[in-house]
């Protein structure tokens, strides 16, 4: 019997595949796309198997509409990785595969480069005497150009020829158009290093030799402060890979994809380079994806999703700033691009390098336990000095918009010396709450369990959790008093206060509110470099990937909120921010200074960080994690659920807890915690609860979840309640 049934994964939120009949003449392939009828719509799905039988009566199966690909979309190793990711992150296979495709492929577009429209002369066109056309100079120009050979449509338009002129000529029967595939270029044949390389220092040479000694899969942690020469190491590692005709993938955090970074790779090699990031339109995204697959790009630099690019011949993966939180996707397929990159390297048997000045505790643990090789760069190139730093105990001090008098004095000193000052505060808006001075009433979002943030610039109250906004009320909602005051400090208020304190200096605020417009972040950063602003205020956004040599004072305004957060990763993030800014403040001729304002200067982690460095901080923090049974010593999954009926959500999670506890793989090493109200217990009118599942290994966690998930889907409440599973969540 000939196999005539295709099993298809469709982009629907269901953990199953669908069978369709293959019509005579159709030749679907496993891993390729097909278009199928589904209910009243038509969907693009991926063929997972071709078979002679179905669980369903064959005469009830519908036929495929059409076959879109004659070859699999992904090389088999990447296809297998995507299937693995679907299982590991508990996300339906069809949706996972759709997530990994450029939008245009999801919509059914052909998976080949856009063809080129090219114009040529007809024999009649050749024979036209140009002298007869003196009144139509544009037509003469075209005929003349085409006498030298064919010319593309776009090239003619670029010469100011209008589409109408071409149409007229073709209607006269003098020229005709054809579609051609762009010629494939063989970049490897002309590979060259196109700039002079600096002489490596010993540590760099050692790091490079360690990686080159072994061409197979291995994971390397390259730990080195900013400016220690990590990028130079990446460039040196790429060289033999590219010279051998293999491609390189470089992942960078969302905010790290700067022209400076891209240019360093472009300057070094004459290799076609593509970038993949959120700023691309659908056509550009498909084109970059195809350039990877068809070996038309030697280097691809991109953010998180670039990991899903197919490559003809991938030789190395680099994950820069591997600790960065933007590598974790926070919705749909909740994958961690760094972790999947390690899997991808392992399946492709190629080396992978994770670079950071402040490695994630998970990564450090893997390095310390010998799973990853640990490479160090300890010296800062260019003889820059490390910044001085100190804690500023603000207990009992009067704070003006969050600033203590000693900090203000210090700022004045640096500003008078002609330098820039950078202040960090991880809270947007003017004030995190508005309070009545008479009765203490607080303006609260009606739909969330949260206070409104006051945004003075727009004169609005905004809820940062559901995006509700409303004008500021004139009176207290409880006693009617007009004495409403902002409480607490956000970046907007800090900005305003600084204008009063330092009227002679210009202040700029970099946060999500001030950089909403495309390109505005780049413009601000440029203006800062030109010293148009002297005081820079920012959230974490400002710290990443930017170097401002004239910034000599950096202050973290509110360290305590991170030290005493209920998210166990908050102190790790604080430490990373601190090292990042300390590494970037000042330069050789202008040493920098970092100040941390806190009420708890004696805090053990803070002490370790400040006086013994990131490694000691990490060692202490890892010890705490071990004692508390937290990652990387255990593996977590967070089951979130939300609905309008509070008790239903809790009840639903109770039932799920029951499913886990009854599971044959549940034992004394596994735990379910909750149901507990989520940190934000109500959002946009929905009550939110969560359940935390803990297991001793990835494998145990996956078994537990895979067995429980179908049973959860059978609970009647699962249809009424919005729920999701986040495997290895980054934010609790
Ligand atoms: P990182 O990526 O760790 O921040 P970079 O590779 O960007 O560090 O290096 C910082 C600066 O030092 C760059 O300007 C780089 O060109 C320069 N540099 C790196 N390695 C060397 C070296 N061995 N000799 C001279 N300059 C170097
Ligand atoms: Zn709200
Ligand atoms: Zn009141």
Question: Can you give the residue ranges of every domain in the chain?
Answer: 5-107, 116-180, 187-377, 388-430+489-625, 635-727
Q: What separation in Å is there between the alpha carbon of 520 and the centre of ligand 1?
A: 28
Nearest residue CA, atom 11 of ligand 1?
A: 227
Is residue 204 scored above 90 in pLDDT? yes
The answer, yes or no, to whether the previous bond of 632 is cis (omega within 30 of 0) is yes
Is residue 449 scored above 80 in pLDDT? no
Is residue 184 scored above 80 in pLDDT? no
Is residue 702 scored above 70 in pLDDT? yes
Is residue 356 in contact with ligand 1, taking CB distance under 6 Å?
no
Nearest residue CA, atom 12 of ligand 1?
A: 381
Share the mean pLDDT of the chain: 89
Which helix (DSSP H) or strand (DSSP E) does residue 269 occupy? none
| Domain over 388-430+489-625 is classified CATH 3.40.718.10 | no
Q: What separation in Å is there between the alpha carbon of 484 and the centre of ligand 3?
A: 8
Relative orientation angle of helices 259-268 and 230-243, to the nearest 10 degrees: 40
Is residue 310 in contact with ligand 1, taking CB distance under 6 Å?
no
What percent of the chain lies above the pLDDT cut of 70? 98
Q: State yes or no: 436 annotated in a binding site.
A: yes
- Helix, strand, coil fractions of the chain, as percent rounded to 5: 35, 25, 40
Is residue 230 in contact with ligand 1, taking CB distance under 6 Å?
yes
CA dihedral 528, 534, 538, 540 (to 10 degrees): 60
Nearest residue CA, atom 25 of ligand 1?
A: 198
Is residue 501 in contact with ligand 1, taking CB distance under 6 Å?
no
Integer angstrom CA distances of residue 456 from 460, 485, 491, 492: 6, 12, 11, 7
Is residue 198 in contact with ligand 1, taking CB distance under 6 Å?
yes
Calpha distance 75→373 (Å, rounded): 28
Nearest residue CA, atom 15 of ligand 1?
A: 229
To 5 degrees, how large is the angle CA 562–CA 568–CA 570? Answer: 30
Is residue 264 in contact with ligand 1, taking CB distance under 6 Å?
no
pLDDT in tens, 576-604: 988 888 877 776 667 788 999 998 899 88
> Which ligand is located closest to the Cα atom of residue 483?
3
Q: What is the pLDDT of residue 269?
A: 97
CATH topology of domain 187-377: Rossmann fold (3.40.50)
Is residue 382 in contact with ligand 1, taking CB distance under 6 Å?
yes
Looking from the CA of 288 toward its CB, the CA atoms found within 13 Å total 27
Q: What separation in Å is there between the alpha carbon of 401 and the centre of ligand 3?
A: 23
Q: What is the pLDDT of residue 382?
A: 55
Is residue 261 in contact with ligand 1, taking CB distance under 6 Å?
no
Question: Of 118-127, 351-360, 447-456, which gets the smallest average pLDDT?
Answer: 447-456
Q: What separation in Å is there between the alpha carbon of 420 and the centre of ligand 3?
A: 42
Q: What separation in Å is there between the alpha carbon of 462 and the centre of ligand 2?
A: 8
Determine the atom of ligand 1 nearest the C-alpha atom of 200.
23
Q: What is the pLDDT of residue 130?
A: 77
Sign of the CA dihedral 221, 563, 613, 229? positive
Would the CATH topology of 187-377 be identical to that of 388-430+489-625? Answer: yes
Assigned CATH class of 635-727: alpha beta
Mean pLDDT score, 8-36: 95
Is residue 550 scored above 60 in pLDDT? yes
Is residue 438 scored above 90 in pLDDT? no
Mean pLDDT score, 350-354: 97
Mean pLDDT score, 456-469: 79
Q: What separation in Å is there between the alpha carbon of 422 and the centre of ligand 3?
A: 37
- Predicted model pTM: 0.85
Mean pLDDT score, 493-522: 83
What percent of the chain lies above the pLDDT cut of 90? 55
Mean pLDDT score, 43-62: 92
Q: What is the pLDDT of residue 385?
A: 59
> Which ligand is located closest to the Cα atom of residue 453?
2
Q: State yes or no: 219 annotated in a binding site.
A: no
pLDDT band at 223 (very low <50, low <70, confident <90, very high): very high
Q: What separation in Å is there between the alpha carbon of 449 and the centre of ligand 2?
A: 7
Assigned CATH class of 5-107: alpha beta
Determine the atom of ligand 1 nearest the C-alpha atom of 235.
6
Integer angstrom CA distances of residue 675 from 448, 631, 651: 19, 20, 9
Place of tokens 């190793």: 77
Determine the atom of ligand 1 nearest the C-alpha atom of 201.
23
Calpha distance 618→518 (Å, rounded): 37
Mutate to test the pocket of ligand 1, among 381, 543, 579, 580 (most ligand atoms within 8 A of CB): 381
Is residue 126 scored above 90 in pLDDT? no
pLDDT in tens, 709-730: 999 999 999 999 999 999 999 8
Determine the atom of ligand 1 nearest the C-alpha atom of 320.
2
Strand order in the sheet with 671-683: 671-683, 686-695, 635-643, 722-727
Calpha distance 509→491 (Å, rounded): 7
Q: What is the pLDDT of residue 588?
A: 62
Mean pLDDT score, 114-119: 80
Mean pLDDT score, 70-93: 95
CB 596 within 8 A of CB 391: yes
pLDDT in tens, 529-548: 889 999 998 877 777 656 77
Is residue 196 scored above 90 in pLDDT? yes
Q: What is the pLDDT of residue 384?
A: 55
Is residue 25 in contact with ligand 1, taking CB distance under 6 Å?
no
Question: Of 62-71, 116-125, 244-253, 352-361, which gets the smallest average pLDDT?
Answer: 116-125
CB 497 within 8 A of CB 461: no
Q: 474, exposed or middle or buried, with CB in 10 Å at 0-12, 13-18, 19+?
A: exposed
Q: What separation in Å is there between the alpha carbon of 642 and the centre of ligand 2?
A: 14
Q: What separation in Å is there between the alpha carbon of 380 and the centre of ligand 1?
A: 8
Q: What is the pLDDT of residue 545?
A: 57
> Which ligand is located closest to the Cα atom of residue 234?
1
Among 12-26, 139-153, 386-400, which range has the highest average pLDDT? 12-26
Q: What is the pLDDT of residue 309?
A: 97
Q: What is the pLDDT of residue 386?
A: 66
Q: State yes or no: 83 annotated in a binding site.
A: no
Q: What is the pLDDT of residue 426?
A: 78
Q: 637, exposed or middle or buried, with CB in 10 Å at 0-12, 13-18, 19+?
A: buried
């Amino acid at each position: 019997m000939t196999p005539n049934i295709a099993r298809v994964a469709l982009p629907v939120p269901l953990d199953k595949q669908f069978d369709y009949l293959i019509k005579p003449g159709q030749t679907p392939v496993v891993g390729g796309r097909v278009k199928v009828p589904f209910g009243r719509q038509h969907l693009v799905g991926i063929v997972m198997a071709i078979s002679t039988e179905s669980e369903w009566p064959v005469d009830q199966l519908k036929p495929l509409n059409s076959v879109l690909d004659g070859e699999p979309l992904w090389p088999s190793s990447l296809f297998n990785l995507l299937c693995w990711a679907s299982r590991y992150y508990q996300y339906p296979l069809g949706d996972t595969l759709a997530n990994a495709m450029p939008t245009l492929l999801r919509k059914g577009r052909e998976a080949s480069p856009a063809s080129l429209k090219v114009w040529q002369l007809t024999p009649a066109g050749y024979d036209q005497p140009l002298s007869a056309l003196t009144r139509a100079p544009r037509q003469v120009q075209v005929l003349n150009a085409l006498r030298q050979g064919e010319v593309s449509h776009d090239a003619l338009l670029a010469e100011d020829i209008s589409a109408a002129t071409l149409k007229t000529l073709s209607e006269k029967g003098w020229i005709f158009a054809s579609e051609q595939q762009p010629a494939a270029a063989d970049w490897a044949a002309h590979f060259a290093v196109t700039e002079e390389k600096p002489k490596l220092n010993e540590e760099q040479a050692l790091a490079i030799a360690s990686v080159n000694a072994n061409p197979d899969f291995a994971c390397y942690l390259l730990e080195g402060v900013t400016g220690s020469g990590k990028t130079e190491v990446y460039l040196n590692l790429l060289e033999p890979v590219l010279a051998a005709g293999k491609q390189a993938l470089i992942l960078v955090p969302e905010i790290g994809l700067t022209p400076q970074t891209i240019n360093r790779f472009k300057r070094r090699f004459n290799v076609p380079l593509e970038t993949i990031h959120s700023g691309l339109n659908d056509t550009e995204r498909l084109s970059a994806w195809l350039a990877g697959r068809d070996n038309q790009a030697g280097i691809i630099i991109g953010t998180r999703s670039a990991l899903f690019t197919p490559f003809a011949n991938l030789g190395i993966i680099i994950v820069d700033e591997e600790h960065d939180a933007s590598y974790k996707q926070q919705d749909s397929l909740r994958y961690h691009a760094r972790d999947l990159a390690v899997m991808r390297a392992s399946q492709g048997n190629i080396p992978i390098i994770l670079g950071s000045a402040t490695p994630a505790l998970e990564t450090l643990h893997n390095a310390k336990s010998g799973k990853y090789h640990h490479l160090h760069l300890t010296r800062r190139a260019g003889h820059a000095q490390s910044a001085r730093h100190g804690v500023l105990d603000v207990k009992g001090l009067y704070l003006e918009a969050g600033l203590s008098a000693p900090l203000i004095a210090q700022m004045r000193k640096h500003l008078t010396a002609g330098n820039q000052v950078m202040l960090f505060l991880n809270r947007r808006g003017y004030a995190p709450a508005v309070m009545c001075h008479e009765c203490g009433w607080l303006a609260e979002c009606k739909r969330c369990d949260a206070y409104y943030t006051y945004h003075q610039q727009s004169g609005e109250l905004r809820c940062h959790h559901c995006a509700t906004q409303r004008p500021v009320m004139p009176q207290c909602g409880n006693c009617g008093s007009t004495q409403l005051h902002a409480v607490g400090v956000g970046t907007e208020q800090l900005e305003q206060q600084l204008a009063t304190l330092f009227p002679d200096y210009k202040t700029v605020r970099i946060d999500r509110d001030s950089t909403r417009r495309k390109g505005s972040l780049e413009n601000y950063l440029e203006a800062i470099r030109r010293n148009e602003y002297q005081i820079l205020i920012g959230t974490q956004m400002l710290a990443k990937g930017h170097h401002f040599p004239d910034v000599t004072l950096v202050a973290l305004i509110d360290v305590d909120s991170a030290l005493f957060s209920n998210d166990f990763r908050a102190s790790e993030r604080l430490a990373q921010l601190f090292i990042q800014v300390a590494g970037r403040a000042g330069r050789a001729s202008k040493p920098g200074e970092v100040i941390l304002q806190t009420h708890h200067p004696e805090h053990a982690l803070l002490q370790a960080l400040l006086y013994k460095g990131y490694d000691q901080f990490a060692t202490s923090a890892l010890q705490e994690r071990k004692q508390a049974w937290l990652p990387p010593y255990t593996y977590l999954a967070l089951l979130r659920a939300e609905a309008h009926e509070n008790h239903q959500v809790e009840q639903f999670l109770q039932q799920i807890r029951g499913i886990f506890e009854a599971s044959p793989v549940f034992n004394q090493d596994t735990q379910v915690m909750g149901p507990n109200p989520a940190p934000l217990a109500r959002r946009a009118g929905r009550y939110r609860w969560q359940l935390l599942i803990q297991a001793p290994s990835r494998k145990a966690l996956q078994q537990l979840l895979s067995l429980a998930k179908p049973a959860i889907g059978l609970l009647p409440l699962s249809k009424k309640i919005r729920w999701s599973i986040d495997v290895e969540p980054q934010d609790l």
